[in-house]
Amino acid sequence: MPHADLTQSAWNALSDEAATRVARAVAAGAGATLAHVGPHSYAGRSGRVAFLDRDGLRFALVPGGTVDLGFDPSRCTLTARQAAHFTEAAQEWGLSGSPLDFIAASTSAARRVDLPARLVAVRATASEELIDDEDEEADGHDWVIAGLRARGLRPPTPDEWEHACGAGATTLFRWGDDYPDGEPYGTVPLIQDPNLFGLVIAADPYASEFTTDPEVFCGGDGGAALCGGYGSFLSWLTLATAYREATLAETVVDGGLTEETPVRPVIEIP
């Protein structure tokens, strides 16, 4: 079986010895060095992680398969506290509809997709730190794509990013539907901890990430809700797995923020 066909269930069902063999083979095919294979848990779920190093970057093996992505209101259960937080925001900022209606309008639609297994960087990095291009100015999405391609890398697709973040979870956030007390910034439970695939992802609302789609950034809203004092509900929503900020692409490009905006490199595997 091609390694690109490796599914999450098949990966976790392998024996330790077989998983190590697979990870070594993936590393060899990607020109990487295998660093670690072992069990890993996150938010009450358990699985297995594999970390590989290449060119100073650490990657995690992210299995693929047929996965459910996007926000499905029928799968989401909000608490009375979340509803109260939404009511406060609605009154202050003129929001309409129910909390679930608002979430649905702020997230990608529920869908089922087939994805290949791939290597995904454990952490996103500012574009300027990954791209060696001293002759051209950073002028947008094409600059990011070309710069990564020169290193044998690319950004994740929006679908790949969501799967990498949720790791099979179909809840609003990768840990569940509710959020911790406080604001989603700094040392807060759940958001800085590596997820089930071992990725530090959607850990900072300010650090939204490039994808292959120039109109889609994932993992935050650039900090608008948090910095603007929009309240807990709207600030935490920006870290939902399927969250989309419609105007962020224009802000990044027109605001000259391309170089400092993070991107999470992907390595395709055969």
Q: Give the domain range for residue 180.
A: 3-268
pLDDT at residue 198 in the model: 98
pLDDT at residue 242 in the model: 98
Distance CA 144, CA 54 (A): 19
* pLDDT tens digit sequence for 216-256: 999 999 999 999 999 999 999 999 999 998 889 888 887 78
The 3-state DSSP class for residue 71 equals strand
Q: Euclidean distance between the first and final Cα of the chain, in Å?
A: 10
In 3D, which of 100, 102, 238 has the Cα closest to residue 173?
A: 238
71: left (phi over 0), alpha (psi -120 to 50) or beta: beta
pLDDT at residue 188 in the model: 87
* Sequence-distant (≥ 6) Cβ neighbours of residue 253 within 8 angstroms: 139, 140, 141
pLDDT at residue 138 in the model: 63
Helix residue spans in 126-204 (DSSP H): 127-130, 141-149, 158-166
Ordered mean pLDDT values, 10 residues apiece, the chain (270 residues): 93 98 98 98 97 98 97 95 96 94 97 98 95 70 93 97 97 97 87 96 95 96 93 96 91 84 96
Residue 169: how many other CB atoms lie within 10 Å: 18
* Sequence-distant (≥ 6) Cβ neighbours of residue 94 within 8 angstroms: none
* pLDDT tens digit sequence for 3-29: 999 999 999 999 999 999 999 999 999
Residue 90: alpha-carbon gap to chain centroid:
27
Distance CA 238, CA 222 (A): 9
pLDDT at residue 102 in the model: 96
pLDDT at residue 22 in the model: 98
In 3D, which of 164, 187, 184 has the Cα closest to residue 174?
A: 164
Number of domains in the chain: 1
Return the CATH number at 85: 3.90.1580
